[in-house]
Structure 1
């Protein structure tokens, strides 16, 4: 059919218009006029001597409308920063009832049990106040369109015919507009009727059109006649559904399917990836080394210098974690500028001159013209929003809102690939040769609506307002249309303890059996280049003379616990690599040891001084700092315990005393924490911070692997030429001394152990004690996980 410029075609989205133009031929004819449905409704509306307000002005009017209203009863805060976010709930409710031509009074009449009487009374007050403010300012908003609109006949009369390709839902107000336009010009509407859009199509039926089968319809709305109807057939040629244990692993499947589709001869520009959660695009971009994708939703500004600095400043002010403060230094943010303009102003009212300086600073960081243009727009609107208020607004509240608004900026994807990544709504009325849908999960498909805040679903149903079910069905309609319009389909979903495939899958893919299997392993090689650990179980026998080694108590303990561990640590010297924030067992012990050494090396020995020294060891690790706070009380108990001992006559004669000497022909070395003396008797003290400290007994000493007190005893004997020695663990956790009561037995055992060291060959076998392996850093290497 020949098209003329006198025809207007209305499509649901700009992308569907581009798709239409690229797939159509217009030889020897004038191009038709094409606009989106949103633009169509804007153009056909005409308001005489009225100004249309923007989002910022709407918020200011709403703020005025809720003054002297009990917002707490609605569960909404009246503070500026909270209301800015929550006011949207009120506005959406007003918009919904205005769009459906429903009055609050009619809802009250239907609310038989008066469950919502108080809420509706408050909402009615706000609604009436808001309408009065609009009238006072000679303004219109979508909420009062119905009162003042006229049909823009200058626009409508340009055309001999208008065709609307309807995908979605007409509100009652929009439907009334369509009716008015159809009186001025020949208006045809094309749509699909299926089981999920019954509520949408009911408006056409109520208007007098005989629509009774699930089909594709073209209707003449002007004369209420059906022009054509035909079966809406599915074009599916291939379908594949795969489950994965994590969202990221879906990306491997997505890439594989793209490769397969292209190998099949499908044009990459006719392949689309649908994201039920558009935020997933941020993760997808990280793995897009091949530059497969272009992003219909735009690209976030997270990697821009402007955003990085803004986010670093905001994060450091909200939470003064050391890593966030360090980020300020890393980004070379001037410290005095940061302190004066941000930190000192944080809990003070925001000032216009400060705001201007801040905006100037952020703009100086950025060179991207597109970003600067969008940033300027936000700054202009934000200034209007913040400084039009009578209420004092704290800098921290204003900066929080500013951070949120800047975070929402997206830029056009100019360096784009051929495969389009889009959200569900953007895909309306577009046909694809190949389609991939990820995250086909119960939590996302259909997406849950947040609009039923003030009324129950049952009450909404009674007054004919859209319910949660209606909105979910509309999403299902979009998915069914999208899938019907595609030939080759691949679907992935996440299955784990918190999520599962959407129940909608079994309905829309009713002819396909969905397997209960996960496919992570089949595809993960696409994303990850695995470096698998090779475990070795063979014997490791070395020609080595253990008697020539200088032994410490800790290295001996390691050898006796597990010879393989000793081999890996002391011979191969493989050290632990761990980035965990969880403190190591030795970190607290080292701090306590160092604190007590410093404390006893100076004359002022009170708790205050001990605490002062202890506080020098504050860590950048928050978990370790928590342990240190707990130990402050224990150190107070330590001072009390020590005072009692010194009253008995004890004196300290050595701290951190190093030693090295021969015993049974083997060199022993180490460092004694502390040596006390009472008259002519020496007390060897080894500080311990463990909460479950135990000493050997006559029943257990034969299996002993810890000979630390024996090493210390022999060292003191060697250093001071005396046998009047007692060896103790200083149990700092429970604040008591634990004496080594089987010292002689363990010394004899130590001699026997050292006798076995005088050999030329050692088998470094793995231990069989699972308790030893549990906390061993080499357990993965030994395959003991």
Structure 2
């Protein structure tokens, strides 16, 4: 006799896996995030997983699913063909079919009886009964099913005990799976949601009672008693909302750690804001983001061009990188923009005399016209013709993607590009199954099928597990964290489908048959559970408006809304409260005295003066008026960045090797990045990907810097992140130099930049608009070193960008525009030193620059 038990417990209840025999123990959690979280915590506590299988229902389903479910793309087009018979006059037929398909899919997933459609008031819904009958019958004849089905031979998984933990609600197929497993295995359902106010829990209990489950229940409590004494804040930001958000994120990191902080989003757009600002704010977020499918997009552009060669499509086609034209793109685009045309036929031989075009470019332009005229596809052919056309196109795109990676070494573009091409391969395999529907097919229809597939796929960014966990509530309500920051809870979330069937008129019938659930109640239970298990919860809102769910929490928890005081500057997004927020702001005499005391007691970085010269206002906002106590808490976070690890690896490499040694570099990467693992083959998939990325990047640096034919080959990398601290008059300057290449006491100073756009020019340096290279040089001269030059090294292409080179120590190899004599460099450094002192005095006097204007506060 098997055990079948539901454990209805209080919100702080936790299941103890050690109470169960781990042999054949399957532990089912509601989301992927909660699964990762629980598994990591278990390993942290116990050191290993034993024999426990941590899974989601989806993962369990895929181990038991039969190969009888049709591909969704294929089943959609089968339904679309059936719908055409019943609704031949429907105007927007593709979108109409999508809505019906989603509706039918919900019916199959929830196991709803087709005949229930006949009970609807809406006559249109009633008319769909015959459609779904024919749709299901089509696949039944092929021994295929549209239900989310599984093998009854689930016992092959050897499940002795199944624990289902943390589900607020269950899908139909979840319940069927539980019911069948309970015939031969012990099953425990842990529901830590015993709240008096919610009838959803009672409905779930009734379902399990009918399945023969025993109910073990704690005394239910009211919401007020759970919220009493919980640390929950609601804060409105008014005009300082963005600054408030980032301020509280940074304060929370300081209070706890990145690992123990979660950001819960009630609106996807807020996630995009966090992602867009993370570099500016020096933060990183673990966001599940859909990334742009640039290859799929270019295929769409090309297929639209083949279908209709009008002006817009020609212009877009000309710019395709992965399906390139043979001519100079910029020149061709310039000609196209200058000439008025509406279709490709306008560019015939007679028309060339009327072209606005440089005579030197006529030949190239006519070649371009010939190329795009010859790019054709048959308007009607068999399926294999179009599949082969797409295959050939894919092969050409892959060649360009591989070539780009060899030249540019951009691992993320290469990864996303290959993911996209893998999806094209999948589509080609799926398209083969359409042969039983089409003897021949039009190009327009094939294009529509391809575009439907491309629109349905989702290319995901790599998870940043070192970042702050950021997700919607339904994904992380059952994860463990100390602090939760809740964003966008000042407005209600639309929890219902954007589908014309799911309208207000049908809602009562949809709920009655079980197709629409009380999503507001589900979300509210998830929210309450999360609030009662976090040590601290902070809701950040814009004004006094709040959502219905937050209003309930506020009322029942007796929580007051407080107003944010804008006294923490997280970045340049907001100004300091004592600064007039106009561009021509002034400081009053009181603030000048306060500012002078701050400046006299602070150290200056190598880029502080650059910031001051560019914009005195930004210098104050970003670098002076900030809370100093938070700086130390970020140091540990900074060391997590790849740059510091790369520097350490390179420093160790060049201390021990002067020549190219691939194996030694591999060993260093393993030692520094994966200290607990000695072999690459033993790494996890994600770690292997990181190793390949790190190895590829560092290998190129080492190869370039050990090339015996390189410029400055006598100088070898010696120091990385070399810290300095020295004084110029009353000014204390501190910082670190990314890299120093040395030959005896002669040194080349190098600063790494992500791209050439982030470098300063030699003109900036010699015209006293940039002082970073000056301060680096003075720091090393202070150590009696001879300055041979200063370079930026661009990490994307490993290119050196010289600012100045001392011809006394390095022979000229170009026209010499960056070369200076030793006397010229010393004179320049002396003048720059005087300028730094002058700028410091201006700061203390309240003088600020906004590009070309000077503003003086009195």
Q: TM-score range by the shorter chain?
A: 0.5 to 0.7
> Which residue of structure 1 lines up, in the alignment, with residue 473 of structure 2?
424
Q: 1:439 to 1:5 in 2, by over 3 A?
A: same
Paired residue for 1:275? 265
State the partner residue of 2:232.
239
Residue in structure 1 matching 2:584, options 534, 540, 546? 534
Aligned to 2:487: 438
Q: Residues 273 and 419 of structure 1 are in contact (CA less than 8 Å); yes or no, is this contact kept in structure 2?
A: yes
Asked if 1:478 corresponds to 2:493, the answer is: no
Shift of 1:430: 0.7
Task: Give 1:534 deviation, angstroms.
Answer: 2.1
Question: Is the 1:493–1:501 contact (alpha carbons within 8 Å) kept by the matching residues of 2?
Answer: yes
The answer to whether the aligner puts 1:263 opposite 2:298 as a matched pair is no
1:365-404 deviation line (CA, Å, top 9, x unaligned): 4344532442133213433566736342427646754663
Match for residue 105 of structure 1? 115
Aligned partner of residue 168 in structure 2, secondary structure: coil
Larger helix proportion of the pair: 2
Task: Say if 1:236 and 1:488, in contact at 8 Å, map to a contact too.
Answer: no
The match for 2:123 is 117
Q: Give the SS at the match of 1:489.
A: strand
1:486 CA drift (Å): 1.5
Partner residue in 1 for 2:105: 95
Matched, 1:30 2:30: no
Q: Is the 8 A contact 1:197 1:474 kept in 2?
A: no
d(CA) in 1 for partners of 2:125, 2:422: 36
Shift of 1:503: 2.3
Secondary structure in 2 aligned to 1:226? strand
> Following TM superposition, by how much is the alpha carbon of 1:90 offset from its aligned partner in structure 2, in angstroms?
1.9
* Residue deviations 1:512-559 (CA, integer Å, cap 9, x gap): 5554968789768552569832289xxxxxxxxxxxxxxxxxxxxxxx
Q: What SS does structure 2 have at the residue aligned with 1:286?
A: helix
Deviations 1:204-259 (A, max 9, x none): 225438xxxxxxxxxxx76513175676945975333334569xx65432321122
Give the Å deviation of 1:187. 0.8
Deviation at 1:446, TM superposition (A): 5.0
Which residue pairs with 1:194 in the alignment?
195
Match of 1:162 in 2: 162
The separation in 1 between residues aligned to 2:559 and 2:322, in whole angstroms, is: 57
- Residues 592-611 of structure 1 deviation map (CA, whole Å, 9 limit, x = unaligned): xxxxxxxxxxxxxxxxxxxx
Instruction: Give the alignment of 1:589-604 within 5 angstroms.
Output: none
Could you say which residue in structure 2 is the equivalent of 1:380?
A: 425
Q: Secondary structure at the match of 2:259?
A: helix
Counterpart in the other structure of 2:33: 15
Q: Which residue of structure 1 aligns with residue 141 of structure 2?
A: 136
Q: Give the 3 Å change call, closer, same or farther, for CA 254–331 of structure 1 in structure 2.
A: farther
Deviation at 1:352, TM superposition (A): 3.7
TM-superposed CA distance for 1:453, in Å, is: 1.1
- CA distance, structure 2, for counterparts of residue 71 and residue 521 of structure 1: 64
* Aligned residue runs from structure 1 range 207-246, under 5 A: 207-208=208-209, 223-226=213-216, 233=226, 237-243=230-236
Secondary structure in 1 matching 2:582: coil
| Larger of the two Rg values belongs to structure | 1
Residue 553 of structure 2: which of 508, 515, 524 is its match? 508
1:182–1:421 CA distance, 2 compared to 1 (3 A):
same
Kindly indicate whether the alpha-carbon contact (under 8 Å) linking 2:111 and 2:173 is maintained by their aligned counterparts in 1: yes
Question: Aligned pair in 2 of structure 1 residues 141, 319: CA closer, same or farther (>3 Å)?
Answer: same
Find the aligned partners of 1:321 and 1:250 in 2 and give their Cα distance. 44
In structure 1, C-alpha distance between the alignment counterparts of 2:443 and 2:229, rounded to whole Å: 57
User: Is this contact kept in 2: 1:242–1:519, CA < 8 A?
Assistant: no
- Residues 319 and 426 (structure 1 numbering): CA distance in 2 closer, same or farther, change over 3 Å? farther
Structure 2 counterpart SS, 1:292:
coil
Determine if contact 2:300/2:451 at 8 Å carries over to the other structure.
Answer: no
**Cα shift at 1:492:** 2.4
> In structure 2, what is the Cα distance between the partners aligned to 1:11 and 1:197?
22
- Find the aligned partners of 2:419 and 2:254 in 1 and give their Cα distance: 40
Matched, 1:205 2:206: yes
CA 524–245 in structure 1, closer or farther in 2 if over 3 Å, else same = farther
2:475 aligned counterpart, secondary structure: helix
CA distance in 2, matches of 1:397, 1:521: 55
2: CA distance between counterparts of 1:173 and 1:283?
37
Q: 1:492 to 1:29 in 2, by over 3 A?
A: closer
Aligned partners of 2:181, 2:220: CA distance in 1, in Å?
26
Q: 1:462 to 1:16 in 2, by over 3 A?
A: closer
* Structure 1 residue 15: Cα displacement: 2.3
Deviation of 1:442 (Å): 2.3
Contact residue 441 and residue 502 of structure 1 kept, 8 A: yes
SS of 2:483's equivalent in the other structure is: strand
The 5 Å alignment of 1:544-555 reads none
Aligned counterparts of 1:535 and 1:294: Cα–Cα separation in 2: 34
For 1:699-778, what aligned pairs fall within 5 Å after superposition? none
Q: Could you tell me which of 239, 244, 264 is aligned with 1:253?
A: 244
The answer on 1:410 being equivalent to 2:460 is: yes
Q: Determine the structure 1 residue equivalent to 2:274.
A: 284
Match of 1:4 among 22, 39, 52: 22
Distance, in Å, in 2 between the alignment partners of 1:263 and 1:355 is 53
Give the conservation status (yes or no) of the 8 Å contact 2:70–2:146.
yes
- The answer as to 2:176 corresponding to 1:171 is no
Shift of 1:200: 5.2
1:313-328 alignment runs, 5 A limit? 325=315
Q: In the aligned structure 1, how far is the partner of 2:322 from the partner of 2:109?
A: 51
Native 8 Å contact 2:247 2:570 kept in 1: no
Secondary structure, aligned partner of 2:521: helix
Q: 1:286 to 1:162 in 2, by over 3 A?
A: same
How far has the Cα of 1:175 moved from its partner?
2.2
Shift of 1:491: 1.9
1:464 corresponds to which of 494, 506, 513: 513
Change (3 A) 1:180 1:71: farther
Change (3 A) 1:308 1:89: closer
Q: Which residue of 1 is the match for residue 182 of structure 2?
A: 182
Cα distance change on mapping 1:139 and 1:323 into 2, 3 Å: closer
Question: Residue 63 of structure 1: which of 57, 80, 83 is its match?
Answer: 80
Residue ranges of structure 1 left out of the alignment (5+ in a row): 210-220, 537-779
Give 1:127 deviation, angstroms: 0.8
In 1, the alpha carbon distance for the partners of 2:212 and 2:300 equals: 55
Match of 1:360 in 2: 395
TM-score by length of 1: 0.54
Normalised by the length of structure 2, the TM-score is: 0.50
Offset at 1:508?
2.1
Match of 1:540 in 2: none
Q: Is the 8 A contact 1:99 1:174 kept in 2?
A: no
Instruction: Say whether the 8 Å CA contact 1:151–1:181 is kept in structure 2.
Output: no
| Distance apart, 1:288 and its partner CA | 0.8
CA drift at 1:6: 2.7
CA contact (8 A) 1:386 1:393 kept: no
Distance 1:96 1:535, change over 3 A: closer
2: CA distance between counterparts of 1:448 and 1:180?
31
